[in-house]
Amino acid sequence: MKKLFSLLLICLFIQINIQAQKNSKMDSTSYSIGVIIAQNLKNQGVAEIDAPAMVKAVDDVLKNKPLAIPQEKVSQIFQSYMQGLEAKKHESQIKEGADFLAENAKKPGVVTLPSGLQYTIMTEGTGPKPVATDKVTTHYHGTLIDGTVFDSSVQRGQPATFPVNGVIQGWVEALQMMPTGSKWKLFVPYNLAYGERAAGNLIKPFSTLIFEVELLEIHK
């Protein structure tokens, strides 16, 4: 998305420079710039656009006219639109995760929090609970909803230590509820995991993830 935005800026800069050229090549040059912009938009998944509105925006910027949309909102609107396009590409992934969580919520012992995070208590500890500013040592085993293992300190035989507020949001929320010595199974919706980003070779964008997390120690 940043690459596309930079390209649009470059194209507009080129158009500013050639605006001063009053010759027979102007129409073909302007058209060519439009083709480049449209092709790149299409490559990003943009199927439709209000061309007159876009032309007006270009004209307003080049001629220093007042913008129809405040400058501070332009990037926000553009980013939101591109995020929506990205989500559309992964509709099946999103639906698969949502269907899994909906069925999982019906199982005995599964607790669903207001955030959408789900968990079951495998072992209930009796120690203190960490806060966001603590570091913790845990053993964990992470899988996709189809059972594919993507990361596991258990398999490595080496627990991991990290700040509570330095991991995915689903973990941040769960860890602060877990007494030391507990082992929970977490079912993390994509928005509390890596969101629209991929992670490593196995975690695709918008992936729902499962973790078994054992809280071993708190470091103040």
Active site positions, annotated:
140, 150-151, 168, 194, 211
Q: State which H helix or E strand residue 196 sits in.
A: none
Gap between the Cα atoms of 18 and 21, Å rounded: 5
Query: Considering only CA atoms, which of 125, 98, 91 is closest in space to residue 187?
Result: 98
What does DSSP assign to residue 69? S
List for the chain the helix, strand, coil content (%; round to 5): 45, 20, 35
C-beta separation of 31 from 15 below 8 A? no
Where are the strands (E) in the chain, listed by range? Answer: 111-112, 118-123, 135-144, 149-152, 160-163, 183-188, 209-219
User: Residue 173 is which amino acid?
Assistant: E
Gap between the Cα atoms of 31 and 6, Å rounded: 19
Helix axes 51-62, 2-19, angle to 10 degrees: 60
Q: State which H helix or E strand residue 159 sits in.
A: none
Gap between the Cα atoms of 114 and 150, Å rounded: 27
Gap between the Cα atoms of 109 and 119, Å rounded: 8
